[in-house]
Amino acid sequence: MSIYNVFCFSLQLDSCNIRNVKLSNICLTRQLTIEPGSKCDAFLHLPPEAVRNRAYNASSEVYSLGIMLWEMWHGKEAFFEMKGQDLEVLLVNVEEGHRPQCTGVTTQTSAPWYELISRCWADKAAERNTLADCKLAITAMLANQK
């Protein structure tokens, strides 16, 4: 995860209720610098179109958010099995629809989170949620867990 994607919680410790959730540094459009022969390790959270076009935008942030949410839910790094491989191997796999496995959808609480994650990392950038959609979904899910 890059420092650009920061997920902050404000907790009420006596009852462990989440009070505020903030995503910071979202929607910074920037150019990517990729060295020839790069390994995929630094790009595991990026959608293929961001890497191929060398540009990072709001849709890229949403994809990264989906990967980050999956990692938080499962407590492990997404695409760990791809680390150390050539960047092109990761890009081809993700373009062919490879995503981390969504396992453990066993409760009414987990299903909406997985739906959000899946919408965030949709194959086509135009099919991904907007940042506003993500905020509404997360706020609603947290409110329903009280």
CA atoms of 98 and 37, how far apart (whole Å): 22
Residue 106: per-residue pLDDT: 72
CA atoms of 61 and 99, how far apart (whole Å): 16
Residue 133: per-residue pLDDT: 93
Whether residue 17 lies inside any domain: the answer is no
Domain count, the chain: 1
Flag whether pLDDT at 14 surpasses 60: no
CA atoms of 36 and 111, how far apart (whole Å): 40
Flag whether pLDDT at 119 surpasses 80: yes
The CATH number assigned to the domain holding 94 equals 1.10.510.10
Residues 6+ apart with CB under 8 A from 105: 111, 114
Whether residue 130 lies inside any domain: the answer is yes
Average pLDDT along the chain: 77
Residue 45 confidence class, pLDDT cut points 50, 70, 90? confident
Residue 57: per-residue pLDDT: 84
Asked whether the beta carbons of 32 and 64 are under 8 A apart, the reply is no
Whether residue 109 lies inside any domain: the answer is yes
Average pLDDT over residues 25-33: 56
Whether residue 4 lies inside any domain: the answer is no
Residue 7: per-residue pLDDT: 47
- Percentage of the chain beyond pLDDT 70 is 75
CA atoms of 39 and 68, how far apart (whole Å): 20
**Amino acid identity, residue 113?**
W
Flag whether pLDDT at 73 surpasses 90: no
Structural domain range at position 51: 29-144
Residue 29: per-residue pLDDT: 54
Asked whether the beta carbons of 121 and 59 are under 8 A apart, the reply is no
Whether residue 67 lies inside any domain: the answer is yes
Flag whether pLDDT at 114 surpasses 60: yes
CA atoms of 92 and 13, how far apart (whole Å): 44
Whether residue 85 lies inside any domain: the answer is yes
Whether residue 19 lies inside any domain: the answer is no
Asked whether the beta carbons of 10 and 18 are under 8 A apart, the reply is yes
Whether residue 133 lies inside any domain: the answer is yes
